[in-house]
């Protein structure tokens, strides 16, 4: 690391005592790069075994990496915490301006300890941390408004990130998210509830500094190579044109789009909610994360009339992506696009994870259809696939929690099903709700085994789709090994906090070039070992907190609804999980060699 | 003909700030310090972006308020900074109606665009461009030319 690189500076904040200080952790960053690697090390240091996820002992850890502020698409912040949703490892990534702002403020990581006795927000600047009263912001109806207020009140426009929670976080919904720059999220695993438990409403981070490079010429050459690839590759163009919503139609056409609580893999209304249709009818603006020329963020402009006030309209701008479309569209049988978008908007206003919220609503709908729950539980609502308005009402109740049922649903589908029944169609994996791919066994093995139970950890859907294309049979052992190799390499990318959409741009060779031009000496072998080591550490943490692969529940529904890569049974899944678990702990990373 | 940086179509801006990073990179480092172009949201990202560049004014107000003649009108258009004359008073920052005079806090001096166009070559969406414009004046006509 170059002498004047501020990456190794870790900002510590104690919310209880309203103190902050900086520690230089050069070894930590030299050994594990940043992001996920530094995050899990800090979590090991900070989070005591058996910690209450909503107690003051659970830390908030935010980390960035060495390439942030230096190269395009190194644009993510990694959040590490103990998840109140799964009771285990919590890791969530967000873009926006969060990563650049934290790096430009002169930090590689922030560790936030304790809990504030009263609502508070933090302002982090170069060399200064301010503790500001947030009593007036607490309980505010909309997460959008909280952002607008802070935007006006604080300085640094264009150089800052405004991370905040909505009422869902304040009220400790276990899948509340943290919103940054209005349209990006630390979406999964309840990071927002951790903030809420600390009475931390928001963090504003800003800065504008320079970063040293080792070799100016090599730096610029590498920069240009990455920039060209990021702006001119076909895949990146697709992300720019249609965004992740480009997946909806192709996935549906092969029968892998979870529909009506995964009673089907095909949605007859898919064309209406496809990326193409949304772009043609609703796309109002495309925006980018800081230092990402791709601009995959797609905002729909939705013009809504006021029902009782003629010629009175409002125009809502809201972000859409594949996962929100799956969670509020096909999974709920909604092809009424304005209705679907209003549901997404309400989820945003409340500050919930859209994926978990959609799965919770889908389970509740099927549970109500089967008579497991009645309108008494739902506070009079009749949930029905294809009907947006009751879902919008239900989202508000998940946050306001007027009945025991909504209190249960506010803790996720696994918890609600454990109390009310219907566990066989509760789409949760390791306690986390399902992503929008039902492509075959590999995606599900991925959700179960991956450290975050996320489709982004190991991309099982991609293995399934390859099998569909080639007609090859999937074998448990091969699936497990391929997922593990992918997840190990992704530890490296997420330690560099490179957006995973740019994974094809950042090949190992390009990563090494970028690192060496900015003063970090690594080898390909070193990166491989690091990836395996980070994943092993995550598993160690998970096991310490009670994770057991053998005890994972396999939702029966995924075995019943046919998938593009062909039928598979629980034995397949179990065999793959067992193989994965043995291999992840292995100290020989040879098999992960790329 | 002379060149200046111009915002061609701000509605195409996605807020990636590649231009700001490019400007800072010209100075031989990474990060954002020293960038002479600024992109911020127009009051929240949902409203789009504002791109602030030096317009190379024909009669630059920033130069008119400089007490030490450190900021001088360039021949034809715009301004040039003679850093050794600058006392860091910040009058120029106040005078520019666009907020295009950005501040180098380390040096305590303004950061002045030199109209090199490097930033524009990194704009993926043709928001900004180096534009040829008519020179407004000749050296003899310059308002602050030495007698």
> Looking at CA atoms only, how far is residue A223 from chain B in angstroms?
10
Q: Does A70 touch chain B (CB under 8 A)?
A: yes
> Looking at CA atoms only, how far is residue A211 from chain B in angstroms?
5
* pLDDT exceeds cutoff 70 at A593: no
A-B CB pairs within 8 A amount to 93
Nearest CB to A317; choose among B14, B24, B46: B46
Q: Does A131 touch chain B (CB under 8 A)?
A: no
> Looking at CA atoms only, how far is residue A349 from chain B in angstroms?
14
> Looking at CA atoms only, how far is residue B95 from chain A in angstroms?
20
Nearest CB to A285; choose among B24, B32, B48: B48
Which alpha helices (H) appear in A453-523, and where do they start and end?
455-458, 460-470, 476-495, 508-517
Domain assignment present for residue B32? The answer is yes
| Pairwise CB contact (< 8 Å): A293 & B16 | yes
* pLDDT exceeds cutoff 80 at A531: yes
| Pairwise CB contact (< 8 Å): B32 & A181 | no
Contact B35, B21 (CB under 8 A): yes
Judging contacts by C-beta atoms under 8 Å, the chain A residues touching residue B38 are 158
Domain that holds residue B49: 1-53+113-128
Domain assignment present for residue B91? The answer is no
Judging contacts by C-beta atoms under 8 Å, the chain A residues touching residue B12 are none
| Pairwise CB contact (< 8 Å): A293 & B46 | no
pLDDT digits (tens, 9 = 90+) for A250-262: 999 999 999 999 9
pLDDT digits (tens, 9 = 90+) for A397-454: 999 999 999 999 999 999 999 999 999 999 999 999 999 999 999 999 999 999 999 9
User: Which residues fall within 8 angstroms of residue A283, CB to CB, at 6 or more apart?
Assistant: A298, A299, A300, A301
Placement of tokens 């900015």 in the chain? A518
Residue of A nearest to B106 (CA): A209
Contact A257, A248 (CB under 8 A): yes
- Determine the pLDDT at residue B138: 53
| Pairwise CB contact (< 8 Å): B14 & A227 | no
Nearest CB to A210; choose among B33, B48, B124: B33
Give the mutation candidate from B16, B37, B47, B121 for the A interface (greatest A CB count, under 10 A). B16
Helix or strand (DSSP H, E) at B130: strand B128-133
Considering the four listed CATH numbers 3.90.950.10, 2.40.110.20, 1.10.569.10, 3.40.50.970, the one that applies to the domain covering A241-432 is 1.10.569.10
CA count, 13 A, side-chain hemisphere, B98: 18
Domain assignment present for residue B29? The answer is yes
* pLDDT exceeds cutoff 50 at A589: no
| Pairwise CB contact (< 8 Å): B24 & A317 | no
Q: Provide the mean pLDDT of chain B.
A: 91
Closest among A59, A99, A97, A57 to A78, alpha carbons compared: A99
| Pairwise CB contact (< 8 Å): B18 & A227 | yes
Q: Does A376 touch chain B (CB under 8 A)?
A: no
Domain assignment present for residue B23? The answer is yes
3-state secondary structure of A298: strand
* pLDDT exceeds cutoff 80 at A25: yes
Give domain limits for chain A: 6-206, 241-432, 439-504+523-592
Give the mutation candidate from B43, B45, B47, B49 for the A interface (greatest A CB count, under 10 A). B45
Looking at the DSSP assignment, which residues form a beta bridge with residue B38?
B52
Q: Does A214 touch chain B (CB under 8 A)?
A: no
Judging contacts by C-beta atoms under 8 Å, the chain B residues touching residue A157 are 40-41
Nearest CB to B39; choose among A72, A158, A211: A158
Judging contacts by C-beta atoms under 8 Å, the chain A residues touching residue B35 are 208
Residues of B with CB under 8 A from a CB of A: 14-18, 21, 24-25, 27-35, 38-41, 43-46, 48, 122, 124-125
Domain assignment present for residue B107? The answer is no
pLDDT digits (tens, 9 = 90+) for A305-317: 998 999 999 999 9
3-state secondary structure of A108: coil
Q: Count the Cβ atoms, other than its own, within 10 Å of residue B52.
A: 18
| Pairwise CB contact (< 8 Å): B38 & A518 | no
Give the integer Cα–Cα distance in Å for A537 and A535: 5
Q: Does A293 touch chain B (CB under 8 A)?
A: yes
ipTM of the complex model: 0.95
pLDDT, tens digit only, all 147 positions of chain B: 788 999 999 999 999 999 999 999 999 999 999 999 999 999 999 999 999 999 999 899 999 999 999 999 988 788 999 999 999 999 999 999 999 999 988 889 999 999 999 999 999 999 999 998 887 765 555 555 444
Nearest CB to B44; choose among A151, A212, A288: A151
Give the mutation candidate from A285, A286, A316, A514 for the B interface (greatest B CB count, under 10 A). A285
Nearest CB to A286; choose among B14, B27, B122: B14
Domain assignment present for residue B31? The answer is yes
| Pairwise CB contact (< 8 Å): A182 & B34 | no
Q: Provide the mean pLDDT of chain A.
A: 96
- The CATH class that applies to domain A6-206 reads alpha beta
Judging contacts by C-beta atoms under 8 Å, the chain A residues touching residue B14 are 286-288, 293, 295
Give the integer Cα–Cα distance in Å for A538 and A516: 27
Percent of chain A with pLDDT over 90: 97
Domain count of chain B? 1
| Pairwise CB contact (< 8 Å): B15 & A288 | yes
Give the integer Cα–Cα distance in Å for A188 and A199: 19
pLDDT digits (tens, 9 = 90+) for A91-127: 999 999 999 999 999 999 999 999 999 999 999 999 8
Give the integer Cα–Cα distance in Å for A22 and A111: 10
φ, ψ of residue A91 to 5 degrees: the values are -140, 130
pLDDT digits (tens, 9 = 90+) for A286-295: 999 999 999 9
Angle at A262 between CA A256 and CA A267, to 5 degrees: 60
Token readout for A334 is 């909604």
| Pairwise CB contact (< 8 Å): B31 & A70 | yes
């Amino acid at each position: 690391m170059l002498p004047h690189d501020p990456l190794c500076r870790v900002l510590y904040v104690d919310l209880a005592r309203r103190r902050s200080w900086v520690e230089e952790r050069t070894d930590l960053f030299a050994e594990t790069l940043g992001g996920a690697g530094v995050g899990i090390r800090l979590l090991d240091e900070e989070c005591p075994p058996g910690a209450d996820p909503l107690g003051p002992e659970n830390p908030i850890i935010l980390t960035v990496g060495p390439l942030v502020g230096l190269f395009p698409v190194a644009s993510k912040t990694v959040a590490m915490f103990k998840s109140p949703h799964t009771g285990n490892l919590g890791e969530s990534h967000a873009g926006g301006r969060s990563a650049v702002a934290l790096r430009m403020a002169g930090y590689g990581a922030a560790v936030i300890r304790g809990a504030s006795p009263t609502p508070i927000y933090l302002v982090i600047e170069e060399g200064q941390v301010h503790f500001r009263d947030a009593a007036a912001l607490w309980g505010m109806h909309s997460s959008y408004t909280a952002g607008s207020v802070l935007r006006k009140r604080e300085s640094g426009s264009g150089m800052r990130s405004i991370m905040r929670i909505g009422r869902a976080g304040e009220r400790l919904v276990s899948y509340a998210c943290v919103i940054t720059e209005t349209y990006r999220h630390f979406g999964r695993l309840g990071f927002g509830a951790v903030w809420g438990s600390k009475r931390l409403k928001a963090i504003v981070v800003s800065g504008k500094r320079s970063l040293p490079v080792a070799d100016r010429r090599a730096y610029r050459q590498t920069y240009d190579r990455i920039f060209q690839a990021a702006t001119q590759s076909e895949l990146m163009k697709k992300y720019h044109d249609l965004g992740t919503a480009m997946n909806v139609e192709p996935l549906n056409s092969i029968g892998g789009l979870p529909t009506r609580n995964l009673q089907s893999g095909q949605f007859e209304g898919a064309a209406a909610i496809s990326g193409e249709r949304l772009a043609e009818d609703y796309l109002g603006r495309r925006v980018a994360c800081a230092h990402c020329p791709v601009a995959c963020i797609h905002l729909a402009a939705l013009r809504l009339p006021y029902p009782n006030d003629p010629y009175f309209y409002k125009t809502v701008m809201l972000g859409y992506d594949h996962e929100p479309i799956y969670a509020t569209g096909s999974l709920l049988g909604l092809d009424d696009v304005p209705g679907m978008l209003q549901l997404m908007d309400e989820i945003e206003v409340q500050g919930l994870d859209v994926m978990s919220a959609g799965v919770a609503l889908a389970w509740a709908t099927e549970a109500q259809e089967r008579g497991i729950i009645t309108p008494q539980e739902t506070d009079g609502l009749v949930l029905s696939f294809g009907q947006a308005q009751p879902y919008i009402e239900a989202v508000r109740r998940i946050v306001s929690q007027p009945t025991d049922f909504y209190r249960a649903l506010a803790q996720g589908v696994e918890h609600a099903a454990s109390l009310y029944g219907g566990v066989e169609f509760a789409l949760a994996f390791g306690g986390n709700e399902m992503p929008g791919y039902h492509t075959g066994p590999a995606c599900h093995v991925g959700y179960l085994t991956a450290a975050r139970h996320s489709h982004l950890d190991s991309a099982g859907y991609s293995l399934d789709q390859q099998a569909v294309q080639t007609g090859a049979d999937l074998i448990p052992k091969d699936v497990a090994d391929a997922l593990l190799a992918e997840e190990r390499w992704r530890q490296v990318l997420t330690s560099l906090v490179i957006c995973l959409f740019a994974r094809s741009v950042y090949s190992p060779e390009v990563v090494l070039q970028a690192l060496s031009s900015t003063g970090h000496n690594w080898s390909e072998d070193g990166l491989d070992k690091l990836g395996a080591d980070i994943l092993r550490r995550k598993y160690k943490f998970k096991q310490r907190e009670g994770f057991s692969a053998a005890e994972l529940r396999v939702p029966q529904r995924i075995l019943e609804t046919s998938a593009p890569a062909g039928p598979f049974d629980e034995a397949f899944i179990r065999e793959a999980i067992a193989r994965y678990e043995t291999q992840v702990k292995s100290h020989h990373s040879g098999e992960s060699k790329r | 003909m002379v060149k200046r940086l111009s915002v061609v179509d701000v509605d195409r801006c996605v807020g990636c700030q590649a231009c700001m990073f490019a400007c800072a990179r010209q100075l031989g480092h990474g990060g954002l310090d020293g960038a002479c172009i600024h992109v911020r949201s127009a009051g929240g990202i949902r409203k789009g972006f504002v791109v602030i560049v030096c317009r190379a004014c024909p009669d630059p107000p920033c130069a008119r308020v400089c007490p030490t003649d450190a900021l001088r009108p360039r021949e034809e258009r715009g301004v040039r900074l003679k850093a050794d004359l600058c006392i860091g008073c910040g009058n120029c920052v106040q005078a520019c109606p666009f907020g295009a005079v950005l501040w180098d806090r380390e040096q305590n001096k303004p950061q002045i665009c030199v109209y090199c166009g490097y930033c524009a070559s990194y704009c993926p969406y043709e928001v900004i461009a180096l534009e040829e414009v008519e020179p407004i004046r000749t050296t003899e006509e310059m308002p602050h030319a030495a007698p």
